[in-house]
Amino acid sequence: MRRIALCVSYDGTEYAGWQRQPLLRTVQGEIERNLLRATGEDITLHASGRTDAGVHALGQVAHFDTSARMPAERFVYALNVGLERDIRLLESWEVSPDFHARFTAKRKHYRYTIRNAPIASALTGRFEHHVHRPLDFERMNEAAAHLLGTHDFAAFAASGSHVKTTVRTLYESRFSRAGELIYYDTIGSGYLYNMVRMMVGAFLDVGAHRAPPADLARMLHPPTCPAIRTTAPAHGLTLMRVEYE
């Protein structure tokens, strides 16, 4: 039995998230269906994480086990043939049996894209959250800096999270700007359910002067932290890459 890793890019607009679900179209389900066609095996994919409905990826990583003799690098071409154009495998390679796309991942990089302009884009709007009122970029960056380091992010976990600990480490948390586009980039050891979208929602409140930047620091001290008022929409979020040793 061999273990094969995949690097996957997808536009999540038309999918009910990564994870396979009965009667729903998912990224995992589409790739597994094509693995069955290519190998004749009923294969389960294991991803670095389960992106929500509407979330995109440029560098999702997944792995599977197979007895197929196909060269590892050929899985990209064999699977892309049967996939819709909004899912593309970018790379496939053989890994050691102790590699696990989720449990051996060290860091994940997410980017949230905001178009801060009077009019939304007709071409790229499905990958951006449109905010027509001006946002205070400097205040948002000040708020983002409060989240750097190792903290208890319980305030940024949506209901339904079942994890052993809500402590996570953020190595990067910053905003950048290019014309009408505002990008929030975060690199962390891992993320809770809806964590990045809830963080961005809090930043948007700061940028709109509905909350002070220091609220983000107070949110790291449950149970007396301020409540999250806004969760940013899924379509602005993209998983950029996953890092391993």
Distance between CA atoms of residues 79 and 231, nearest Å: 35
Closest to 174 measured CA to CA, from 161, 183, 166, 165: 183
Task: State phi, psi for 200 to the nearest 5 degrees.
Answer: -65, -40
Task: State phi, psi for 12 to the nearest 5 degrees.
Answer: -80, 5
User: Phi/psi zone of residue 160: left (φ > 0), alpha (ψ -120 to 50 degrees), beta?
Assistant: left
Task: State phi, psi for 215 to the nearest 5 degrees.
Answer: -55, -30
CB atoms within 10 A of CB 206: 22
Would residue 52 show up in a list of annotated catalytic residues for this protein?
yes
Of 11, 42, 52, 205, the active-site residue reads 52
Closest to 236 measured CA to CA, from 182, 177, 162: 182
Query: Beta 105-116 vs 237-244: how paired, if at all?
Result: antiparallel
Q: Which amino acid is at 2?
A: R
Q: So which residues are the catalytic ones?
A: 52
